[in-house]
Amino acid sequence: MIAILSESVLFKNISDKEIADLLETAAYRVAAYQAKDVVALQGAPCNHLMIVLSGLLQGQMVNDAGKLVVIEELQASQLLAPAFLYAPKNNLPVNIIAMETSEILFIHRDDFTHWMQLNKQLLQNFLMLISGRSHFLSDKIMFLSLKNIKNKIADYLLRKLSDTSPDVIHLTETQQEIADSFGVTRPSLARALAEMEQEGIIAIDRKVIKVCNMQLLRQMGQ
């Protein structure tokens, strides 16, 4: 467990011994979940710091139209909803669902407060992490509310490009998973992809997408 925690941004520049010493001062617990288990429901109070030790979890929200929206996916060493731990209204804004067999470390807020009083580096790391979360959430809100489906697709594809693959994207997600992350239906996503292909912006071969007009794709992704 200490090896996993040491990989977290929360414990950056903190030694394994310091992590072990902190754990000895808290009555923490580790809980295991199976795929599709509900870890926490939207609206539940967030009284514990939650760190993913293994597996894959999703923060999910149902929009006004009743459509599932995947806010984010979280893997080992990442924190679940840390921005709400000390909020005046500390209710979780999303449902947290295990997507595969997973383990989560729970540390009560009071114990974590004590940890930050003991370790200045931990306090600085937590503040930096919270600041980063604010940027992530504002970008997510902008992505979900201000862009149409084609804008979202363009933004998604541009993020998937790399130096080693400058114009080809090998999708690792299904269309349903991508649609859920966009907050749209799968048929709507499929139609938008087909239109972009007809417009000569991309070419699709199953789960491989080739960018045919990078200039238009970048304009669409802005």
Closest CA to 70 of 186, 209, 196, 206: 186
- Compute mean pLDDT per 10 residues along the chain, 222 residues long, and list them: 94 95 94 95 93 94 74 91 89 92 97 95 93 71 73 87 84 86 85 91 90 89 75
What's 178's domain CATH number? 1.10.10.10
Q: Are residues 122 and 161 in the same domain?
A: no
Total count of domains within the chain: 2
Task: Return the sign of the alpha-carbon dihedral for residues 74, 76, 77, 81.
Answer: positive
Q: Are residues 116 and 44 in the same domain?
A: yes
pLDDT at 166: 84
DSSP conformational letter for 11: G
- Partners of 220 in beta bridges: none
Q: What is the pTM assigned to this prediction?
A: 0.69
Q: Are 5 and 12 in contact (CB under 8 A)?
A: no
Q: Are residues 62 and 128 in the same domain?
A: yes
pLDDT at 80: 92
Q: Are residues 55 and 103 in the same domain?
A: yes
Point out the domain boundary residue: 143, 177, 197.
143
DSSP conformational letter for 91: B
Q: Are residues 12 and 45 in the same domain?
A: yes
pLDDT at 200: 92
SS3 137: helix
Q: How far apart are CA 16 and CA 200, in angstroms?
A: 53
DSSP conformational letter for 186: H
Q: Are residues 37 and 65 in the same domain?
A: yes
Q: How far apart are CA 143 and CA 21, in angstroms?
A: 41
Domain, as residue range, for 132: 1-143
Point out the domain boundary residue: 143, 167, 185.
143
Point out the domain boundary residue: 143, 163, 179.
143
Q: Are residues 193 and 137 in the same domain?
A: no
pLDDT at 85: 92
What's 102's domain CATH number? 2.60.120.10
Q: Are residues 13 and 104 in the same domain?
A: yes
